[in-house]
Amino acid sequence: MKKKLMSVLLAGTMVASLAACGESGSAPAATTSDNTTTEATTETKTDAPADNAQADAGSAEAAGGSFDPVRLLNGKPEINDQMQALAAKYLEETGNTLTVETIGGDTNASDELKKMYQADNMPDIFVIEANQAETWDGMLADLSGEEWTTKTEFALNNASMGTIGFPYTVEATALGYNADLLKQAGVDPATLTSPAAWKEACETLDSKKDELGITAVFGWCAEPANLGWSSGTHVFGQYLDAGLKADDTTYIDLLNDGGKIDEARMKAFAEFIGMMNQYSDPALLVDGTYDNQVAGFKDGKYVFITQGNWCVTSPEDVSFECGFAPYAFEDGINTIIAGPPSYWVAYSEGNVDGAKAFFNWCAGDSAQKILVEDAGLVSPFSDCKYEAVNPFYKSMNSYITSGNFSGWHTMLKKDGLQNVTCQVFADYAKGTLDADKFTSTMAQVISNYYAQ
């Protein structure tokens, strides 16, 4: 009898443990409105406001427009704290709840989103890059006609779904420079709009290396394994966009038409990159890291850096003035690439009204204050009165206001192309290819990649 009792008990506990697994697994999907349980990233900070929201939801209704809680999937782990502050502010001002979940570090947000989609656990707002709109075709809400769309030129438009993307930041990439060093060497960055001017500037800077205390002219790193996104996406993007107006899609259209490139333009680009290879720090060029690259620039070891405004975000990081110079591989190129590299979109089967309300609020004064002043982002909205703290902001803004900026069309290339092209940059940097070979190899690998 005792034995029997034991076996029943054991079987019972086993089943109970299984059942417990089943229960917790199904709980998040069961109540999609219950945000506190779906928190994957354990931000205890939001829990408290979320509870409050339920408590004083009544009082909020008076403030105008009460919506169900909205879940936002943030793809920038570095601004997670500021996003939590934004959520708290949103609750305080409108009484509505915003739950921010952050996907961190190297985790690929689009991959995580696919898992969430399969698990029926989609957030209401999530982050996408421009070329991912295709993947979510028909699942994103049309935001056209919303109040914020009149205040920005950076919204993401899609042919089949309308205005789908809310720009939350503007980022720029070009050759970032150290203005103090340039001044010391007597080089005016405004003149760097032709290959000849660049060559001359490089020679001048290179000859004054000791005097300026620099290691090399360029902090340019073509290491492919960890920095492939830099060479394969951002630097390659200069081939696609440099010198073009923001809405000019000539070269990206050519590329997406079966992987064609403009040989003459690529050749000019190759020669420019060749110059960068020549005047770069050999210790950094082939096997450096992002950290070394940025540290070298911050310490004044390099005059130019091949990154964007994200590499130096706080004025305390640098003791000199920063600016952007164009990749002028053809005469007269005077643009930098500027625009939102990624967007927030609203899931059409989620809480669309809540998401729209949040976007309108987010384009407003108090939200922009947090995003610009605390998170260090650059506002895409024309009525934003906050000056970004980013050291590159002044230079960026001068390009944007004078219309000398190109788009981030590099984000529209075929998924994964950067992993192919970055290797060609690396081989060129190593010296196994010359400018002609670089051009022909680039043409070959790109057309092969598109043919697959």
Contact 425, 222 (CB under 8 A): yes
Residue 444 found at the interface with another protein (CB under 8 A):
yes
Report 321-360 residues binding another protein (CB under 8 A). Answer: none
Closest separation in Å from C-beta 342 to another protein: 16
Q: Given the complex with another protein, which of 100 and 255 has the nearer CB atom? A: 255
Strand, coil or helix: 238: helix
Residue 141 found at the interface with another protein (CB under 8 A):
no
C-alpha distance from residue 95 to each of 169, 257, 370 (Å): 25, 49, 18
Residue 119 found at the interface with another protein (CB under 8 A):
no
One DSSP character per residue, 63-81 reads HS-----EEEEE--GGGHH
Burial of 247 by CB count in 10 Å (0-12 exposed, 13-18 middle, 19+ buried)? exposed
Strand, coil or helix: 247: coil
Report 214-273 residues binding another protein (CB under 8 A). Answer: 223-226, 228
Burial of 230 by CB count in 10 Å (0-12 exposed, 13-18 middle, 19+ buried)? buried
Spatial distance between the Cα atoms of 390 and 126, rounded to a whole number of angstroms? 25
Q: Given the complex with another protein, which of 120 and 210 has the nearer CB atom? A: 120
Spatial distance between the Cα atoms of 300 and 311, rounded to a whole number of angstroms? 14
- State the number of binding residues for another protein (CB under 8 A): 48
Report 29-58 residues binding another protein (CB under 8 A). Answer: 30-31
Contact 224, 231 (CB under 8 A): yes
Residue 111 found at the interface with another protein (CB under 8 A):
yes
- CA 243 from chain center: how many Å? 21
Q: Given the complex with another protein, which of 226 and 382 has the nearer CB atom? A: 226
One DSSP character per residue, 346-373 reads EBTTS-HHHHHHHHHHHTSHHHHHIIII
Closest separation in Å from C-beta 107 to another protein: 11
Q: Which two tokens stand for residue 379?
A: 């506002």
The contact mask relative to another protein for 406-435 (x = CB under 8 A, - = no) is: ---------xx--xxxxxx-xx--x-x---
Closest separation in Å from C-beta 210 to another protein: 23
Q: Which of these ranges, 185-193, 313-321, 365-373, 440-448, lies near another protein under the rule CB under 8 A?
A: 440-448
Spatial distance between the Cα atoms of 296 and 287, rounded to a whole number of angstroms? 14
The contact mask relative to another protein for 175-214 (x = CB under 8 A, - = no) is: ----------------------------------------
Q: Given the complex with another protein, which of 110 and 158 has the nearer CB atom? A: 110
Closest separation in Å from C-beta 22 to another protein: 6
Residues in touch with another protein (CB under 8 A): 7-8, 11-12, 14-16, 18-19, 22-23, 26-27, 30-31, 108, 110-111, 114, 117, 120, 135-136, 223-226, 228, 286-288, 415-416, 419-424, 426-427, 430, 432, 441, 444-445, 448, 452
